[in-house]
Structure 1
Amino acid sequence: MDLEQALSLERFGRYMAWANGDRARAIALYTLNTQLSESLYTPLQMLEVALRNRIHAVMHEAYHETWFQDETIILKPRQIEQVGMAVADIEFDKKDVTPGRIVAALTFSFWTTMFGPDYETLWQQTLHGIARRPDGKGLRRKDFSGPLHPVRTIRNRIAHHEPILNWNLRKHYGNIVTMTEWLSPVAATWCRTHCRFEAIYPQERIVLHEPE
């Protein structure tokens, strides 16, 4: 069986188009896409874990341990649904429903929504405490919301084995590490030490003539 049949002609066709019909080049692009996806898993994982834990720590201290179930705090109906789904998943696994398990089960979408405009007041009052710049200066909500949107999209594309080569990955990798450093300098150092992205990504950005 040819590789393109294993991948599906539709999926492999994207790479063939990028390679102008050169099958060997298309396979090389697919391989690179896979390697880069693998390399980005490390910093994406650390950002997500650090983000949710810092938000939970700050909100727990300011309000209460189950703040994520408080509809005077959580303003978006979709987030309320996500909490319910997390609880249902924990119950399905026949585990005790604890705040820590709920926090761990909530999706990245839940956490990134906390940086939307509806939460500006909460940011000003409480959430700003999750992070600081290296020089000690505070951050705006938009300092997170801007880079987080494309990072979330890249994360989802990687999870669904979709192409990411047409994205400016060096820029987004830099944003991932920068946001992680704001949340936890130690976590950012760990990312830089163990992430393989810089070793894999070509010196020059791959331009595939598609919009980001």
Structure 2
Amino acid sequence: MRSTAIHARKGRSGHWIFDDAFELGRDANWPPRLKQPYLDVSTAIGRVRRNGMPVSPDQVISELPFGFWHQMVSKRQSFLWPDLVAAFPNSPNRSQAAIHDPVVRLRTFRNRIGHHHRICSFDIAGRYADILTIAAYLDTDLSAWIDARSRVARLLGTRP
């Protein structure tokens, strides 16, 4: 993974998710709003331990909430963007907004569903397109894989 290579090139030990350089907001002097990514990682590590799994980068990453990824691409964490942009090799440009905007829309939509609010006024086809777009920015095969297996387009009537 590119973030691991960048982490190593900067002379940092361990895996980037454990944030030994305090870049994700672990420093006690940081304002609370900037500490959230570290709190998410700490919570994920706790879940991994409670599940009796080894505390490995893969296990921790699998336990991270969607909000963590939203924070990583937010304007508040813009200092991380030069390293994060490499995770989206198929993005049409290096603009943080190209990733941030659809992720914000998806998080809002996901939160509405999670809190059992009505979603009939949402552009559901647009949110599905956001999922496919972000997936394609990561890997074009991933986007095609999701679309081929999803029933969303058929339920929306955009595919037979």
Please list, as runs of the form range in 1=range in 2, the aligned pairs for 1:73-88 lying within 5 A after superposition: 73-75=23-25, 76-88=34-46
Deviation at 1:160, TM superposition (A): 4.0
| SS of aligned partner of 2:89 | coil
Q: Which amino acid is the alignment partner of residue 80 of structure 2? A: L
Deviation at 1:184, TM superposition (A): 0.7
CA contact (8 A) 1:180 1:188 kept: yes
Q: Which residue of 1 aligns with 2:87?
A: 130
CA contact (8 A) 1:181 1:188 kept: yes
Please list, as runs of the form range in 1=range in 2, the aligned pairs for 1:124-203 lying within 5 A after superposition: 124=82, 126-133=83-90, 137-201=92-156
Structure (1 or 2) with the larger CA radius of gyration? 1
Q: Which amino acid is the alignment partner of residue 167 of structure 1? A: F
Aligned with residue 15 of structure 2, among 57, 66, 73: 66
In 2, Cα distance between equivalents of 1:133 and 1:159:
30
CA contact (8 A) 1:131 1:138 kept: no
Q: Which residue of 1 aligns with 2:78?
A: 120
| SS of aligned partner of 1:95 | coil
1:90 and 2:34 matched = no
Superposed CA RMSD in Å reads: 2.0
Q: Which residue of 1 aligns with 2:31?
A: none
Higher RCO (C-alpha 8 Å, min separation 6): 1
**Structure 1: 4+ residue segments shifted above 6 A:** none
- Relative to structure 1, the CA distance from residue 67 to residue 133 in structure 2 (aligned partners, 3 Å threshold; closer, same or farther) is closer
Deviation at 1:120, TM superposition (A): 2.3
> Which has the higher mean CA deviation after the structures are superposed, 157-166 or 180-189?
157-166
In 2, Cα distance between equivalents of 1:59 and 1:193:
29
| Unaligned 5+ runs, structure 2 | 9-13, 26-33
Q: Provide the identity percentage.
A: 21
In 1, Cα distance between equivalents of 2:89 and 2:46:
35
Q: Which amino acid is the alignment partner of residue 184 of structure 1? A: D
CA contact (8 A) 1:128 1:138 kept: no
Deviation at 1:113, TM superposition (A): 0.5
Structure (1/2) with the larger helix percentage: 1
Deviation at 1:98, TM superposition (A): 1.2
Please list, as runs of the form range in 1=range in 2, the aligned pairs for 1:90-109 lying within 5 A after superposition: 90-109=48-67
Deviation at 1:100, TM superposition (A): 1.1
